[in-house]
Structure 1
Amino acid sequence: MNVKNLEEEANNTEDIKPKYRYIKENSQRKNNTQAYYFHVNNEKIRVCKKFFMSTLNIGDTMIRTAMRKSNDKKIVSPDLRGKHGNHKKLDPALKAGVKKHIESLPTVESHYLRQQTERTYIEGDLTLATLYRDYKRECEESGKPFVKACIYEQIFNFEYNIGWHRPKKDQCSTCERYANSSTVEKAERQSEYEKHVADKTKSREEKQRDVSIALQDPTRVVAVYDLQSVLSTPCSEVSDFYYKTNKEGSCYVWSENTAKRGANEIGSCVLQFLTSNCKEKHVTFYSDNCAGQNKNKYIASLYLYATTFLEIQSITHKYLVTGHTQNEGDSMHSCIEKEKKRLLKGGPIFIPAQWVPVIQGAKKKGKPYHVKEMDQSEFFDLQKLSNDIGTNFITDVEKKKVKWTEIKIMMVTKDEPDSLFFKYDYGDDIPYSKIQFSVVAFNNNIKNRDEEFYETYKERSDKGTSGI
């Protein structure tokens, strides 16, 4: 019952003094009595106490409280419980220790739902009780005081937006299929699942090792590339509308009337990156397994071309395991999405050119993202390049069929410009397989090109020429 209800009861109750009352000597009986009313059609109707309580579904205590807390004008004083400064406060140092522990947890953002939520997720089988036990053990080992479990839970739930299970859109289909299998099906899929988990671990260890080497060796470059989701224009809030990096990021942008989003476009952006950043370097790329964009003979042809003409010593492309492709590129995309949400509060975005400052201002610490607006003339026909290199992309030197969807690592080198090396597994102990192209065809069609490249969209603006 709130103050408003008490005031209504007080307004419907009056103290009255009976005209006639016989009082015994030394009697403790009160001098006044209460009269109870209801207002019906602006008419004040008196009722008995029992009828009054039954209608409002209240008891005698509520009536006495309303009368006691009301003044002469029938205004009830507000509830003063808790309205004092003598509250028990949590030591700021203890709270800081809890927050430090929570912020040290390896959380990941939703890969596909960044636009809908800023929630992050904890991987593994951790629970709040497990986290508190870890926190308590760390405090005991270091001799520091610790808070109770209820305080830890309160800080975790109300000051952080962390979930326990990633959305189904982000979950690996192989892992989920195994987890939801029966005992018999799990036994049948055990070897496949164990290899999948091992590949996931190896791919992440491989990337971490390559990054560590590149940090120590100035002749090496390690980069991750990924295609961000479409940034729609016009865009407005009125309608429907574990990985961090402090390194540099490059964004290559174009509108839908400039180019499409296939291997030609992705490869052309990679060529821009190689030309600008990788002279005299050994380059390592990481990406997901999208066959139409990242894992195909057109991208392989681009790498062969780059090591031939761009003074690049070698290019190695390593593919992360399907379902576990979270990488530093996701952090960039997340920053851009957050900046988009922030700026949309100030007004809509009407034209594609407005996205450039959004991307440039997305990173708040360190170097801002480098944004390259791609011109139509900068997209090249990698299919024509691939045809010039040759058609032998399906068998290796041992006459075995090349399983492109299962390739984990692809490599080309300047020392062997007419060869493509690949592996179906990670690890230095796994030997490379090799695709050998015709030396004569390679020399005639590639080395004698004088670095000529065919534009993908040349016909749109100039149908009279076929190349540049």
Structure 2
Amino acid sequence: MFKLFMEKYPDSTVSYNTYRDIFNEEFSLRFGLPRSDTCKLCDKYSIETIAAEDRNKIRCIEKLAEAHHKKAEKAYSKLSDDTKSALGSSHIVALCVDLQQVIYTPNLTHTDVFYQRQYSKYNFDIHNLGQNTVDMYTWHETVAKRGAAEIAYCILRHITSTYAILKAGDMRKLIIWSDRCVGQNNNWTMIALIYHLIKMKYFSEANQKFLVSGHSFLPCDRDFSLIERKKKTARIYTPEDVHEMIKSAKPSNPFRVHQMLQIDFKNFDVLIKNLNKNTYKITEGRWLQITADDMQVLRLRMNHSTGEPWHCHSLRKK
């Protein structure tokens, strides 16, 4: 930036140190680190723009990219709205969920480690947006896998241990925000979960909402960044060390860590088999909803706009 400044103002006598001091002290600007995971659609538009020779084609690509970014911004805006609605409310439960990258043990740096198999530890984050509390559910590779059933059971355990069954006439809404990972979040196991929560009367309405793929930076990611920072200086030799490392990653308002056992994970297949799932793709929707008033109907929207009509699909098996 200093070089660009000098190119634009070649007669300036400002030194680099002076320029740096003014920039740091008089402007509240910060540069984030480049992301390691980028949006494939954004990358596609960028490559097509560079390769395009026709100005009209470039404009067309730019319009598509702008529409894509507006969708991402709209989703973040709705996430913010749900967070505000849940603050201090006993009738709205807004959760953000995500699975952290695998944590390997032992966490050693010598050369031999790169050629040997390490032990995998999994960490699933449930961030309560309204209460700003974080519950981490951890298990290792000999306990369970890290698929849809494991994710659903962590959420089920969290709900049943945190909230009471509704009394007659009471109302409570559930909103779950996540990325669009089909293997973990956007699948029929999760639909079976929210259906089960409605049936068991924990909620009168359950919603599942997804951010735009490639633009899904969640509050959970901020939690994970604290853990990754702690991991750089922590000594991790066993899965139990991971447990303690996560606990100490945030001294103020620390994460609540729950160790999952094999007995905690069960098969969701029975619940899924009771649902009619042969006529449509739930991966097409960005907003899914089931209500107690008509729990045999799955409502689906292609975006987060409340103005769009619901696409209704029967969950009742014929």
- Normalising by the smaller structure, the TM-score range is 0.7 to 0.9
User: How far apart, in 2, do the equivalents of 1:332 and 1:154 lie?
Assistant: 27
The Cα of 1:154 is off from its aligned counterpart by: 6.7
User: How far apart, in 1, do the equivalents of 2:33 and 2:264 lie?
Assistant: 42
The Cα of 1:194 is off from its aligned counterpart by: 3.1
1:409 equivalent in structure 2? 287
2:93 equivalent in structure 1? 221
1:370 equivalent in structure 2? 256
User: How far apart, in 1, do the equivalents of 2:159 and 2:2 lie?
Assistant: 46
Matched, 1:212 2:79: no
The Cα of 1:376 is off from its aligned counterpart by: 0.8
2:13 equivalent in structure 1? none
The Cα of 1:191 is off from its aligned counterpart by: 4.9
User: How far apart, in 1, do the equivalents of 2:303 and 2:81 lie?
Assistant: 16
The Cα of 1:185 is off from its aligned counterpart by: 4.2
- Paired AA for residue 315 in structure 1: A
1:9 equivalent in structure 2? none
| Change in CA separation of 1:128 and 1:306 when aligned onto 2, cut-off 3 Å | farther
Matched, 1:430 2:287: no
1:358 equivalent in structure 2? 245
- Secondary structure at the counterpart of residue 104 of structure 2: coil
Matched, 1:171 2:41: no
- Paired AA for residue 363 in structure 1: K
The Cα of 1:299 is off from its aligned counterpart by: 0.7
- Paired AA for residue 196 in structure 2: Y
Structure number, greater radius of gyration: 1
User: How far apart, in 2, do the equivalents of 1:300 and 1:406 lie?
Assistant: 14
Greater length-normalized contact order (CA 8 Å, ≥ 6 residues apart): 2
The Cα of 1:196 is off from its aligned counterpart by: 1.4
1:393 equivalent in structure 2? 277
The Cα of 1:273 is off from its aligned counterpart by: 1.6
Q: Are 1:225 and 1:285, in contact at CA under 8 Å, matched by a contact in 2? A: yes
User: How far apart, in 2, do the equivalents of 1:195 and 1:319 lie?
Assistant: 17
Matched, 1:255 2:146: no
- Secondary structure at the counterpart of residue 230 of structure 2: helix
The Cα of 1:152 is off from its aligned counterpart by: 2.9
User: How far apart, in 2, do the equivalents of 1:425 and 1:318 lie?
Assistant: 9
- Paired AA for residue 147 in structure 2: G
Q: Are 1:411 and 1:421, in contact at CA under 8 Å, matched by a contact in 2? A: yes
| Change in CA separation of 1:350 and 1:428 when aligned onto 2, cut-off 3 Å | same
1:325 equivalent in structure 2? 216
User: How far apart, in 2, do the equivalents of 1:217 and 1:378 lie?
Assistant: 30
- Paired AA for residue 373 in structure 1: Q
Matched, 1:382 2:285: no
User: How far apart, in 2, do the equivalents of 1:148 and 1:350 lie?
Assistant: 47
The aligned runs of 1:24-423 (5 Å cut-off) are: 149-153=19-23, 163=31, 166-167=34-35, 169-180=36-47, 181=49, 182=52, 183-239=55-111, 247-279=132-164, 280=166, 281-344=172-235, 349-366=236-253, 368-387=254-273, 389-390=274-275, 392-395=276-279, 402-423=280-301
Alignment gaps of 5+ in structure 1:
1-126, 131-146, 396-401, 442-468
The alignment's C-alpha RMSD in Å is 2.8
Q: Are 2:97 and 2:176, in contact at CA under 8 Å, matched by a contact in 1? A: yes
Alignment gaps of 5+ in structure 2:
5-16, 115-128, 167-171
State TM-score, norm by structure 1: 0.55
The Cα of 1:314 is off from its aligned counterpart by: 1.6
- Secondary structure at the counterpart of residue 235 of structure 1: coil
- Paired AA for residue 233 in structure 2: R
| Change in CA separation of 1:232 and 1:154 when aligned onto 2, cut-off 3 Å | same
- Paired AA for residue 266 in structure 1: I
- Secondary structure at the counterpart of residue 294 of structure 1: coil
| Change in CA separation of 1:404 and 1:195 when aligned onto 2, cut-off 3 Å | farther
User: How far apart, in 2, do the equivalents of 1:238 and 1:154 lie?
Assistant: 38
The Cα of 1:404 is off from its aligned counterpart by: 2.8
User: How far apart, in 2, do the equivalents of 1:211 and 1:293 lie?
Assistant: 23
User: How far apart, in 2, do the equivalents of 1:129 and 1:219 lie?
Assistant: 56
Q: Are 1:275 and 1:310, in contact at CA under 8 Å, matched by a contact in 2? A: no
Q: What's the CA shift string for 1:325-350, capped at 9, x where partnerless? A: 00110111111111221223xxxx22
| Change in CA separation of 1:223 and 1:164 when aligned onto 2, cut-off 3 Å | closer
- Paired AA for residue 172 in structure 1: C
User: How far apart, in 2, do the equivalents of 1:404 and 1:271 lie?
Assistant: 20
Q: Are 2:2 and 2:19, in contact at CA under 8 Å, matched by a contact in 1? A: no
Q: What's the CA shift string for 1:17-45, capped at 9, x where partnerless? A: xxxxxxxxxxxxxxxxxxxxxxxxxxxxx
| Change in CA separation of 1:282 and 1:129 when aligned onto 2, cut-off 3 Å | farther
